[in-house]
Structure 1
Amino acid sequence: MKKFLKGFLIILVAALIIFIAIFHKRIILTYTLVNKYISVKNDNMRTPKINGLKMSQSMNYKDIIYKNTNGVPLTLDIYSSLKKSNNPSPVILYVHGGSWVYGDKSIPDALSPVLNTFREEGYTIISTSYELNRNKANFNKQVADIKDTIRWIYKNKSTYNLDPNEIGVIGVSSGAHLSLLASYSSNDNFTDDKALSTYSSKIKYLIDFAGPTDLSLLNTSDLNYDLTKIFNSIQDKDTVIKELNPINYVSKGIPNTLIIHSSFDPMVPYKSSKELYDKCVKEHAKVELITLNSNVHDLSNISSTDISSMSEGLLKFVIFNSPL
């Protein structure tokens, strides 16, 4: 019995030392990267035309077709790690917004510095497209597109030296809505490409920028022509809301989630993110909430103060969910 207790204590102490070492390393890395980001941001303010801050200037692979199941080739861009290593690279997948109808996979300037900071630490950034709604709503297909992008990463891990066990997703607005559904739903839900359906769609963590989590909270009374046409095409709105509300998929086993949303968002009510946060807490899922103060919905006109809060929070969240 004494030998057993002695052995158990040795293992416990060793585990504690390893935990402290890893935790301490991540604290140092967080401090280093936050300061590096702040330095880059300040340099950019002094010299706005500085090269290397825009992601498009250092893309490695453009418009790779990841599937074509509906006569519409869907593509993704790859921004490879800037750090030389033979080890598989962790992945951050970016999913654009645009009210399910507009937008493209170009990475916003507000996110470029922080994502390039991760590339310097060994991350690969992938930006994907999805089939935009035209004339009628097809949200299920859009969710399947995001899941098929993740499945494509698993399928092509060796070709591009990617680590599918270390995939994080960043979704903005409608892209966050699709990302939440893709990440929270089971592997067999939302399939489209049969060749990709055999691969996993599991991710490790998710960053949600102002994604609608309860579609019933959206104000659809003053939509433009395109969006009016999309929402009028939905015949059974109650069923759609039930099947396509990310909050309905929350469970203890969902990926770690960071929610970023402005309390003054004029398009997607902040209430939807607060309710998602509360539901995650209730289900004992790992979740964090960063509240911004800009009177904006997307990242186009976000204040410098909110950019700092957003970026530093994002850096810390990714690092504490990373293998670094």
Structure 2
Amino acid sequence: MKKFFKRLIILILVAVIAVGAIFHKRILLGYGIAEKYISLKDEIPNTKNVDITSISNSMNYKDIVYKDTNGVKLTLDIYSPLKNVYKKSPVILYVHGGSWVYGDKSLPEVLTPVLDTFRDQGYTIISTSYELMRNKEDFNKQVCDVKDTIRWIYKNADTYNFDTDEIGMIGFSSGAHLSLMAAYSPNDDFTDDTSLSSYPSKVKYLVDFAGPTDLSLLNTTNLNFDLNKVFSSVRNRESVINKFNPINYVSKDDPNTLIIHSKSDKTVPFESAEKLYEKCQEENSKAEFIALNNSGHDLSGISSDDIVAISKGLFMFIVSNSPL
């Protein structure tokens, strides 16, 4: 384990240099990420392990209602910058996974070293919720919820000192699917809360962790009981798939995208990520692709090599799309 973390430090610092890190901030950022991974428990983290000792305990604003439609209040959490580095704070929005039917906005431990370090450099982290499906399909509502979160950030930029020119997204699994839909679809599509509908929904970059990009590729034999009920409720399956496939919205105007997917994913096939990357290339949409080798869909069983690939790749991608 110690050898792994030493290797991680070296590779991240090499990555710092690779993205032009003659800048002092980038050197500190790269070292800070590696240092925080060292401080984790010996157990390699995955998306099910939620860190309750670090970033979660330093939350500044919890359960802020960002919309209230049909009597359902949806909330988000704000983790403010640990240092005031910029006049306005860049924002990273996290969208959780859970098969569209489970999950909450707690931050996964595998991401906390990266997110904590960016907070050290003046970033705001926002984690949002969306209305989970219950017995029937409602992708439309969930995409609206994620898109309305972005609109809320624009609406409240002055209150919380957000830099709306520097908004990035990170989504896991179903959260990545919803993030792709929200970021790739036209600005005025998928509106729900009328008090937010006039605000933009543009983001600068997006990280897709194992997101379904073509719903027809999902392994339906692996569906959990609740998701199976949801999918069984779909009447016009082809129409729903066509409308809610992120790959159908790819264009040259999309935000820069980092695709991270494991070849060993048994839930969302690796082909889903390959197809998105190929489509982005066809449409001249900027995209990068990191293929993991050994981890499961939820990053269970992740190897040290894959941890290095994620931490280095995520760091390089965010920095290259940031004011650092």
Please give the TM-score of this superposition, normalised by the length of structure 2: 0.88
CA-atom RMSD in angstroms:
2.0
Residue 201 of structure 1 deviates from its aligned partner by: 0.3
The match for 2:32 is: 36
Alpha-carbon distance between aligned partners in 2 of 1:165 and 1:147, rounded to the nearest angstrom:
16
The match for 1:112 is: 112
Q: Is the 8 A contact 1:30 1:315 kept in 2?
A: no
The match for 2:167 is: 167
Gaps in structure 1 of 5+ consecutive residues: 1-22
Alpha-carbon distance between aligned partners in 2 of 1:40 and 1:223, rounded to the nearest angstrom:
35
The match for 1:178 is: 178
Alpha-carbon distance between aligned partners in 2 of 1:149 and 1:264, rounded to the nearest angstrom:
32
- Counterpart residue identity of residue 36, structure 2: V
Change in CA separation of 1:219 and 1:47 when aligned onto 2, cut-off 3 Å: closer
Q: Is the 8 A contact 1:290 1:313 kept in 2?
A: yes
Segment drifting more, 64-73 vs 165-174: 64-73
Residue 47 of structure 1 deviates from its aligned partner by: 11
Q: Is the 8 A contact 2:148 2:192 kept in 1?
A: yes
Alpha-carbon distance between aligned partners in 1 of 2:22 and 2:77, rounded to the nearest angstrom:
29
Alpha-carbon distance between aligned partners in 1 of 2:85 and 2:247, rounded to the nearest angstrom:
39
Alpha-carbon distance between aligned partners in 2 of 1:296 and 1:103, rounded to the nearest angstrom:
17
The match for 1:59 is: 59
The match for 1:217 is: 217
Residue 55 of structure 1 deviates from its aligned partner by: 1.7
Of all paired residues, the percent bearing the same amino acid is 61
- Counterpart residue identity of residue 121, structure 1: Q
Residue 53 of structure 1 deviates from its aligned partner by: 6.0
Alpha-carbon distance between aligned partners in 1 of 2:221 and 2:42, rounded to the nearest angstrom:
43
The match for 1:142 is: 142
Q: Is the 8 A contact 1:53 1:113 kept in 2?
A: no
Q: Is the 8 A contact 1:256 1:287 kept in 2?
A: yes
Q: For each residue in 1:39-61, what CA deviation from the matched residue of structure 2 results, as whole angstroms up to 9, or x when unmatched?
A: 2212335799xx99632111000
- Counterpart residue identity of residue 250, structure 1: V
Q: Is the 8 A contact 1:132 1:142 kept in 2?
A: yes
Q: Is the 8 A contact 1:63 1:75 kept in 2?
A: yes
Residue 306 of structure 1 deviates from its aligned partner by: 1.5
Q: Is the 8 A contact 1:26 1:320 kept in 2?
A: no
Structure index of larger Rg? 1
Please give the TM-score of this superposition, normalised by the length of structure 1: 0.88
Q: How many residues are treated as equivalent by the alignment? A: 300
Change in CA separation of 1:187 and 1:100 when aligned onto 2, cut-off 3 Å: same
- Counterpart residue identity of residue 235, structure 2: Q
- Counterpart residue identity of residue 254, structure 2: I
- Counterpart residue identity of residue 306, structure 1: D
Q: Is the 8 A contact 2:78 2:126 kept in 1?
A: yes
Q: For each residue in 1:169-221, what CA deviation from the matched residue of structure 2 results, as whole angstroms up to 9, or x when unmatched?
A: 00000000000000000011111000100000000000000000000001213
| Secondary structure of the structure 2 residue equivalent to 1:102 | coil
Q: Is the 8 A contact 1:54 1:113 kept in 2?
A: no
Residue 311 of structure 1 deviates from its aligned partner by: 1.3
In the TM superposition, structure 1's runs of 4+ consecutive aligned residues that sit over 6 Å from their partners are: none
